[in-house]
Amino acid sequence: MSVPRWAAGVCAGLHAAGSRHVVYVPDNPLSHVLRALRTDYADVRTTLATREEEAFGIAAGLYLGGARPTVMLQSSGLGNSLNALTSLLLPYKIPVLAIVSMRGDAGEWNDAQVPMGRAVAPICDAIGVPHATPESADAVAEIVRAVGHTAFGTRLPGACLLPRRITVPLA
Amino acid sequence: MNRLEATRQLIAAAGGDPIVASLGHPAYDLYAAGDRPANFYTWGSMGLASSIGLGLAMARPDLRVFVLDGDGSLLMNLGSLATIGWVRAENLVVIVWDNGEYATTGGQPTATAQGADLEAAARALGAAQTATVRDGEEFGAVAARARAVAGPWVIVAKVSESPPSMKPPLDCVFIKQRFMAAIGAPEAATLGGTKA
């Protein structure tokens, strides 16, 4: 099974940003990224968390120990992460590169994904987490690298929002 | 066993190794028992102390990482025990100050007051070493063993509640920068000297 171009871009981008730890809660499109990391990036350690808030907590500990952590989650999990972001990462200025697989945007079929999907960018703006959205699969590597570079450089969490039109292109 | 007294014992057992404290009374008592740069005091993110400790233990296998959690806090993030069990971070020691109540918020009872057994939960979810201790002598012995024997450890310490009298530093960035410098991972931004 070949790796989709956008997923290869996520791997290349986070690696170029200096991240060697990915803490994640699984998501269907992100399984491509996890597979590519395991095959092509032996120096990147992946750790499964039971919940997104926990993933950000583990990532905070990794940063305290000198690592540059990435957290991968589905957009629905941003809701589960808010207390970790607002009462740990932001006040302590602990940076994390967040890779968010979007649900509820163009191409969605599941009603239950829509309200949070619509709220992701406004929530990031409201709490002060910078975010960027790649325009195409080809742009993913550079956007992920740039978001990571800014996050670790300014010591703030930063999010790359991966739209569904890139991760699950309609047939 | 009194929590403040047990915290003093833990600081002695930890040597120079890092201690991560859950918000509220565990952090206040850690400060009162012995402020040191390698103490990481959380001011929020209830439930995440053991997760922060796990990440730190993964990044720094050369250190023994001690976590001071509370029963109410751990109950908020029980999934952490499953992740700790899976990752098997041998250098992680989670101490749960179990007073059976949410003391920081006014003493409402927790599930452990109704018999919930956090040591059994930790064992079931994969912790390599577990213990429940009820007096200071027992606690001192198990804390010393936890520094020497491979974990992950989860130690449930049944403690009595006494209101702390002092708070740790309020500046979160100061806490972080001091902590990272103390464990030999200073932030480049703190030190200066990056490429002009």
Q: Say if CB A148 and CB A108 are below 8 A apart.
A: no
Report chain A's mean pLDDT, rounded to a whole number.
96
| A136 near B CB under 8 A | no
Structure token digits, residue B165: 């009298």
* Contact pairs from chain A to chain B, CB under 8 Å: 119
Where exactly are the structural domains of chain B? 3-195
Of A54, A83, A87, the CB nearest to B83: A54
| A94 near B CB under 8 A | yes
Phi, psi (5° rounding) for residue A72? -115, 135
For residue range B105-127, list pLDDT tens digits in order.
889 999 999 999 999 999 999 99
Tell me the CATH architecture of domain B3-195. 3-Layer(aba) Sandwich (3.40)
Contacts of A88 in chain B (CB under 8 A): 42, 44-45, 48, 52
Q: Which residue of A has its CA nearest to B183?
A: A65
For residue range A44-68, list pLDDT tens digits in order.
999 999 999 999 999 999 999 999 9
Structure token digits, residue A43: 């120096």
What B141-148 contacts at long range (C-beta under 8 Å, 24+ apart), as own/partner pairs, is B143/B9, B143/B10, B143/B13, B143/B93, B143/B95, B144/B13, B146/B13, B146/B64, B146/B93, B147/B13, B147/B14, B147/B15, B147/B17, B147/B64, B147/B93
Check B176 against A64: CB less than 8 A apart: yes
> pLDDT class for B196, splitting at 50, 70, 90?
confident
Measure CA B167 to chain center: 17
Check A155 against B43: CB less than 8 A apart: no
How near does any CA of chain B get to the CA of A70, in Å? Answer: 12
Say yes or no to pLDDT of B165 above 90: no
Query: Mean pLDDT, to the nearest integer, of A22-38?
Result: 97
| B41 near A CB under 8 A | no
Contacts of B45 in chain A (CB under 8 A): 57, 83-84, 87-88
How near does any CA of chain A get to the CA of B164, in Å? Answer: 22
Q: Which residue of A has its CA nearest to B64?
A: A65
Report chain B's mean pLDDT, rounded to a whole number.
95
Check B52 against A63: CB less than 8 A apart: no
Cα A1 from Cα A11, distance rounded (Å): 16
> pLDDT class for B193, splitting at 50, 70, 90?
confident
- pLDDT for res B195: 76
For residue range B166-187, list pLDDT tens digits in order.
999 999 999 999 999 999 998 8
For residue range B72-85, list pLDDT tens digits in order.
999 999 999 999 99
Contacts of A83 in chain B (CB under 8 A): 44-46
Say yes or no to pLDDT of B152 above 80: yes
Ramachandran class of A131: left when φ > 0, alpha when ψ lies in -120 to 50, beta otherwise: beta
Cα A110 from Cα A103, distance rounded (Å): 9
For residue range A69-111, list pLDDT tens digits in order.
999 999 999 999 999 999 999 999 999 999 999 999 998 999 9
Q: Is the ipTM of this complex over 0.90?
A: yes
Measure CA B173 to chain center: 19
> pLDDT class for A171, splitting at 50, 70, 90?
low
- pLDDT for res B162: 86
| B188 near A CB under 8 A | no
For residue range A141-160, list pLDDT tens digits in order.
999 999 999 999 999 999 99
Check B58 against A47: CB less than 8 A apart: yes
Q: Which residue out of A45, A51, A92, A152 would a mutagenesis test of the B interface target, given it has the greatest number of B Cβ atoms within 10 Å?
A: A92
